[in-house]
Structure formats: structure tokens, C-alpha cells
Amino acid sequence: MSDDQTRFSKAYAIGQKPWDSGVPSVELVRVLDAGNLPGKTLLEFGCGTGTNALELHRRGYTVTAVDFVAQAVEEARAKAQAAHAKIDFRVGDATRDDFGGPYDVLFDRGVYHHIRTVDLKGFLKVLERSTRKGSRWLSLAANAKEKHDPGPPTVSEPELRAELEPLFEILDLREFRFGTNIDDFRPLAWSILMQRK
């Protein structure tokens, strides 16, 4: 197990996971309502305990959702079972595993902003493999205009453009605030809507 995986596994084991708000991301819901994630098949990276995967399933997508923490995936599977939702939850590493596809839509909340500091090259290969020309990706990432310690790692606009634009056209880039399970902790974030070139 990598150091990174150990760190996240520990966070789930002790329940220190401020990102796990228990409600679907308001920004994801906004983008879905606007009809900006067309398609049927969807892959979510770093799904955590599956709250957004469940919302995406409810909206009619065939959802594959991966996280490299087994406990998170077990919790997600239990939630899906309780909701009678058929979602393909997998334990896997978004920097190196093969998740099939190509998918119509990719989604991540708070994953790209972290993975880019660990193995951006590996993640970009996985992104390339799991999409085709025209696939959409909505990435929700913490914004470097506000730093938090403790808090999520952040990315600036020039950084995200340099890293993502070789593979994706950015269709919409806007700011919003993440919801968390801590009162008044709402880190500034980027909503990055992209289309594979």
C-alpha cells in the first residue's frame, strides 16, 4: 500500500473526512440540471462513500465508481444496496488501473487536486485511456486563491490549464465553494467542465 493510500485509509478509519458531507455536491447538481454532462456511462474517480455516485445513478447514468480505500468502497456499496441502486463500485487506483470504457462522462470531487501532487502523469494516462473524443469531465478542485491548513491541496488556474488543456478543452471554468461536514468550512473551489479533444 502506498503512503498516500495509507493516509486516506487512516482518515476513513478514524472518521476524519471533512469532505464526506453526506449530501450530493450542489455544484454537480447545478451542472447536471444545466444538461452539461450528456451521455449514459459515467466513471467517478475517488468516490469516497458514494454520495455523488448515488445521485448520478438516480439521474440515469450507468455508474462505475472507484476509490483506493476499501472501507470507503464498502460503505458506498452498503448505501447503494440500501437504496436498491445498481452501481459498479470498485477498489482501484486512479493513477494506474484500467477501468474499461471509454466513458461518456468522468466526474471527480476533490481528487484531481490531490492526485496531481502524487502522480499527475499516471492520472493523465488513465484519463486518456478511459475517454474518447467528446467525452465530458467535470472536476471539482480546491482553488489556490485560498489556502487552508489543515485543508485540501489547491490548484491555480495557470496550473490546471497547463496540466489539463493538452488533453481536454475547458468549456467552463467557474468558482464555487465546497460543502463539508464542518460548520463554516467552505473552501473556495474550481468547477472545471471539460471535453476530451
Ligand X SMILES: C[S@@+](CC[C@H](N)C(=O)[O-])C[C@H]1O[C@@H](n2cnc3c(N)ncnc32)[C@H](O)[C@@H]1O
Residues within the interface to ligand X (CB under 6 A): 8, 19-20, 46-48, 66-69, 72, 93-95, 109-111, 114-115
State which residue, 83 or 134, has the beta carbon closest to ligand X.
Answer: 83
Residue where the block lists cell 502522480: 119
Specify whether the CB–CB gap between 99 and 43 falls below 8 A: yes
The distance of closest approach from Cβ of residue 34 to ligand X in the complex, given in angstroms and rounded to an integer, is 20
State which residue, 42 or 46, has the beta carbon closest to ligand X.
Answer: 46
The distance of closest approach from Cβ of residue 71 to ligand X in the complex, given in angstroms and rounded to an integer, is 9
The distance of closest approach from Cβ of residue 5 to ligand X in the complex, given in angstroms and rounded to an integer, is 7
Picking from 120, 115, 169, the residue whose alpha carbon sits closest to that of residue 142 is: 115
Specify whether the CB–CB gap between 130 and 100 falls below 8 A: yes
State which residue, 93 or 104, has the beta carbon closest to ligand X.
Answer: 93
Buried b (16+ CB within 10 A) or exposed e, 142-160: bbbeeeeeeebbbbeeeeb
- Residue 122: helix, strand or coil by DSSP? helix
CA atoms within 13 A on the CB side of 187: 27
State which residue, 23 or 197, has the beta carbon closest to ligand X.
Answer: 23
Angstrom distance (rounded) from CA 87 to CA 165: 30
State which residue, 12 or 168, has the beta carbon closest to ligand X.
Answer: 12
Angstrom distance (rounded) from CA 188 to CA 146: 6
**For the CA atoms of 73, 80, 51, 28, what is the dihedral angle to 10 degrees?**
120
The distance of closest approach from Cβ of residue 126 to ligand X in the complex, given in angstroms and rounded to an integer, is 9
The distance of closest approach from Cβ of residue 95 to ligand X in the complex, given in angstroms and rounded to an integer, is 5
The distance of closest approach from Cβ of residue 152 to ligand X in the complex, given in angstroms and rounded to an integer, is 6
State which residue, 51 or 135, has the beta carbon closest to ligand X.
Answer: 51
